[in-house]
Every structure is written in structure tokens, then in C-alpha cells.
Amino acid sequence: MSAHANASREQIIAALHDGHSAARIAREFHCDKGRVRAIRDELGLPAYVRGSETPSIEDRWRQYAKPLPDGHMDWTGERQATSNRPLLSHGYRHHSAAVVAFRIRTGRDPVGQVRAECGMRHCVAPEHVEDEPGRRRIRVQARYLSGGRAVQERCQHGHDQAEHGRIAANGRAYCHACKRAREERARAKKRAA
Ligand SMILES: [Zn+2]
Ligand SMILES: [Zn+2]
């Protein structure tokens, strides 16, 4: 939309179809706001909805979420200083990028804390984040997959499985903390060799 000293009816109609507000059209075309409104009402176009010209929180989220191999997503935006948690500022406040990712996948607000369940710390891939009921569901599924036996509260090394328990693609339950420790030992061995 560019400024014109004398806006034609066609120009005003085009700007209305683009979803601009009557106030903005009047300002940019230097014409009467009442005239813009009259044309809008005559054509039965909807009144401007506040916020429709600014990007949605999901649009802003997509600007900062960078896809990685294996379906993970890295956050290139702001982070919380102490916890390093990915943050998104929108509408004059900060939102958890993981919560926005959860809403993108499920279309609803999460219950309790949202965390990445894929093993990558602070991953923001919508498919990889879960809320409290989601984590509980994963545990119930684990119990079912392990043949109805109760999932161990702790692994053989004492890690809390409510936090570290994971299900591999083949359905086998495993401890993620132990897996990480094994990988770390393997790396140390490689370095020493
Ligand atoms: Zn991930
Ligand atoms: Zn363990």
C-alpha cells in the first residue's frame, strides 16, 4: 500500500481486501476515514480485527525454530539466562518456545510443564515436546509394551524413570541417563585411544 494524495475507490477497496484497518488506509491514502468505512460497509467487508496485521505467535516461533537432522529443532532466538530455556517474546511478554511448539502440534494449552522428550536438551520440535499428561501416557505405554509389568521406578543405577525413562523405536524401555553415561564413557575411551 503506497501513499496517494487522492485515493481512488478501487485503491481503497484493494487495501480493504488486503485486511488493512480503515484508520491505516485513511492515513496512508490521505483520505477521510469515514469514506473508507462507508465503502467497507457497502461491500459487506468485515471490520478490521486488531492484531491481524502483526504476525501470530506461531509465525514468530517459526522464524527462530531451526530444523535439524533426526527431526529435532534448535532454537536460534532468546534464551532464559540461567536455565538456557528457549524463550519467545510476543505481545510484550515472554513465552516458553516449548509451550508454543506444544500448541502448534496439539492445538491446545499444555497441562503442567512442557519438556522435550526426545533426549535433545531444549529441543523445540513440536513432535518432541510433551506436557505432564503426555509424559504419563508414555509411561503407561511403556508398562503395556513391557508386557503389563509395572515400569521400574528406578533403573539399576538409581535414576528416576519418571524423568529419565524413554521408549525406543522398537518399543523397548530404557534409561536415558544411563545411555548418556554409556555414550560419554565411549567418547572418553575414544579420546584416550
Ligand atoms: Zn528433538
Ligand atoms: Zn539409569
> Is 80 exceeded by the pLDDT of residue 115?
yes
Q: Which ligand is nearest to the CA of 158?
A: 2
Q: Is the pTM of this model over 0.95?
A: no
| pLDDT exceeds 90 at position 182 | yes
Q: What percentage of the chain has pLDDT greater than the value 90?
A: 42
| Domain co-membership, 136 together with 155 | yes
Buried b (16+ CB within 10 A) or exposed e, 52-90: eeeeebeebbeebbeeeeeebbebebeeeeeeebbbbeb
Q: Is residue 17 pLDDT above 90, yes or no?
A: no
Residue 52 has pLDDT above 70, yes or no: no
> How many angstroms separate the alpha carbon of residue 81 from the centre of ligand 2?
29
| Co-location of 59 and 125 in the same domain | yes
138 plus 187 within the same structural domain = yes
> Are residue 61 and residue 120 in the same domain, yes or no?
yes
**Cα torsion angle, 106, 107, 113, 119, sign:** positive
pLDDT of residue 51: 57
> What pLDDT, on a 0 to 100 scale, did the predictor assign at position 3?
45
Q: Are residues 193 and 167 in the same domain?
A: yes
Q: What are phi and psi of 174, to 5 degrees?
A: -145, 165
Find the 161 Cα to ligand 2 centroid distance in Å.
Answer: 8
Cα(151) to centroid of ligand 2, in Å?
13
Is residue 62 scored above 70 in pLDDT?
Answer: yes
User: Do 2 and 37 reside in the same domain of the chain?
Assistant: yes
Q: Do residues 10 and 75 share a domain?
A: no
Domain range for 41: 1-53
* Residues 41, 92 share a domain: no
Q: How far is the CA of 178 from the centre of ligand 2 (A)?
A: 4
- On average, the pLDDT of the chain sits at 85
What distance in angstroms lies between residue 74's CA and the mean position of ligand 1's atoms? 8
The predicted structure's pLDDT at residue 61: 94
Higher-confidence residue of 55 and 134: namely 134
Cα 90 to ligand 1 centre (Å):
24
In this structure, are strands 87-90 and 173-175 parallel, antiparallel, or unpaired? unpaired
Among all bound ligands, the one having the nearest atom to the CA of 71 is 1
Q: Is the pLDDT of residue 159 over 90?
A: yes
Q: Mark whether 110 and 126 lie in a shared domain.
A: yes
Q: Can you state the angle between helices 33-43 and 22-29, rounded to 10 degrees?
A: 130
Measured in Å, residue 11 CA sits from the centre of ligand 1 at 47
- Examine the domain organization and report whether 42 and 61 are in the same domain: no
Query: What is the pLDDT averaged over residues 12-23?
Result: 84
Alpha carbon of 118 to ligand 1 centroid (Å): 5
Percent with pLDDT over 70 in the chain: 86
Mean predicted confidence (pLDDT) in 72-89: 94
171, amino acid identity:
G
Q: Is the same domain home to 124 and 138?
A: no
How far, in Å, is the centroid of ligand 2 from the Cα of 119? 14
Same domain, 49 and 68: no
Q: Name the domain count of the chain.
A: 3
